[in-house]
Amino acid sequence: MGKLTAVMDINFNKNEDHNKLLLSELRRKLAQIKMGGGEKRIAKHHAKGKMTARERIDYLLDGDRPSVEIGAFAGDGMYEEHGGCPSGGVVVKIGYIQKKQCIVVANDATVKAGAWFPITAKKNLRAQEISIENRLPIIYLVDSAGVYLPMQDEIFPDKEHFGRIFRNNAVMSSMGITQISAVMGSCVAGGAYLPIMSDEALIVDKTGSIFLAGSYLVKAAIGESIDNETLGGATTHCEISGVTDYKAKDDEDALDTIKNIVSKIGEFEKAGFNRAESVPPIENMEDIYGLIPKSRADQYDMREIISRLVDGSEFKEYKEGFGKTILTGYARIDGWAVGIVANQRTLVKTKEGEMQFGGVIYSDSADKATRFIANCNQKKIPLVFLQDVTGFMVGSKSEHGGIIKDGAKMVNAVSNSVVPKFTVVIGNSYGAGNYAMCGKAYDPRLIVAWPSAALAVMSGNSAAKVLLQIETASLKKEGKEITEEEEKELFKRIKDRYDRQISPYYAASRLWTDGVIDPVDTRTWISMGIEAANHAPIEKPFNLGVIQV
């Protein structure tokens, strides 16, 4: 693909300014989140001789290799009445320890003493899910006061609540997935089971403690007077109870011990995904900022984005002249062979001379994507979905042509795909288009959004119009008439509320995505994701089941 000829075009410059402002906002929000509970709590944490959760992870991971953070925005804007819960009170990263890819989970004790909010449990379960799907070793750095009691009803009893974590510990152990825990602070009540259900457990002397009930509760329950260190400190559990396997003198000693253990883990059976020598894209990746339009109504050529994400900017299209609102084809990302399924946001002309709207899935596009997904499964090629989709085409012509049937075939192929899938939400991600393009419900190994993304049933403008009609009709039933000015104000209020909900940060805070990322980091996320997936051999054949033909 040749050099972009319109780099100096005014629209390119406007887009670039807009997207770099979005990127600046992303970096600002990340910097704030990384402060956890704030400078004062970090200082108190250090005064106890303890490293913060992020410092622990940075010390543990190989500094010369890449890492990605899962769920950095978890809890963002949530629980404000409880003082907030930055990053869900737990930091999760995929990185390398002694050159071995692992996932690390570290409680942030500067946030409510590391207490578990509902989103904390959801994030921990997401980390375990990644470990299970990819057979990745998982390291837990425990420093938590346990369940956040004012919200215990939202974290304790249900299937996907706190107890599921310990169930997963047991299942992961039976699967042979390495689990190592270091107790580097409090570890109380039900949370005490997590490190002891791991393969190996460490505890830091004088700062780490494990018990089902602390000294105050013991006194209240059975009248025994005892201090926490004697009750459940490092000496107790390493020399008397035998609950833990290693006693560390401080945080660094504990983390060095983990490095030592991980360095001795044997080789794993690989899935066998194809990888060649990595080469960078020929096109400048930072052109992406000028290519993504400021307005969601504007068109652009997704091929230009793909050429800035793939090795050598080489993309071999499959059925190039057919079903043009979805692009399908083969490429490499950091050497890994991938099949790409991407929405095309330009107006395209069919052989009948009709124009098709960009970002909309038509019957022919769905058919093409279904066939391509099946091909990738047969060839054992991981799939990458690049979403900018407003949904499936509507209207009598589409309905009579069987758009629901063709859409169902695509959804079927995505659902039953056995090769790993990775999803990048670039722009719109609306309605059933989100599903067909491997949204969160369809088990992508990793799913991330760019700052330009929007996830919802429909656009804010369309939704606000529908909701306005409902609300005005309700008011009229009550005998109330509203002026044109009041209707405009009502529309704006509805749209503003809805627009907040379609923000990529709203989605990331609830872990509908694994994060909001800088577009130029996309190659790293996909490459590390495929490397992780290569730990887990494919165990079942691809089968579409029963479909309408």
Q: Using CA atoms, how far apart are residues 381 and 526, in angstroms rounded to an integer?
A: 13
Which DSSP string do the residues of 151-220 spell out, in sequence order?
Answer: GGGGTSSSTTSTHHHHHHHHHHHHTT--EEEEEEEEEEGGGGHHHHTSSEEEEETTT-EEESS-HHHHHH
- For residue 300, give the DSSP letter: B
Classify the C-alpha dihedral 395-398-404-408 as positive or negative. negative
Categorise residue 360: left if φ over 0, alpha if ψ from -120 to 50, beta otherwise. beta
121, 156 contact by CB (below 8 A): no
Q: Using CA atoms, how far apart are residues 122 and 117, in angstroms rounded to an integer?
A: 9
Number of H helices, E strands in the chain: 20, 19
Q: What is the pLDDT of residues 69-93, one digit of tens each?
A: 999 999 999 999 999 999 999 999 9
Bridge partners of residue 139, in order along the sequence: 104, 180
Per-residue pLDDT, 66 = 97
- For residue 70, give the DSSP letter: E
Q: Using CA atoms, how far apart are residues 207 and 56, in angstroms rounded to an integer?
A: 14
23, 43 contact by CB (below 8 A): no
Q: What is the pLDDT of residues 411-425, one digit of tens each?
A: 999 999 999 999 999
- Torsion (CA) 366, 367, 372, 378 in degrees, nearest 10: 120
The residues of the chain scoring below 50 in pLDDT are: 1-7
Per-residue pLDDT, 232 = 87
Residue 426 burial (CB count, 10 A)? 23
Residue 444 burial (CB count, 10 A)? 23
Q: Using CA atoms, how far apart are residues 157 and 133, in angstroms rounded to an integer?
A: 25
Q: Using CA atoms, how far apart are residues 387 and 345, in angstroms rounded to an integer?
A: 10
Instruction: Tell me how far the alpha carbon of residue 75 is from its chain's centroid.
Output: 13
Nearest residue to 329 via CA among 284, 376, 294: 376
Quote the tokens at residue 143: 């420093």
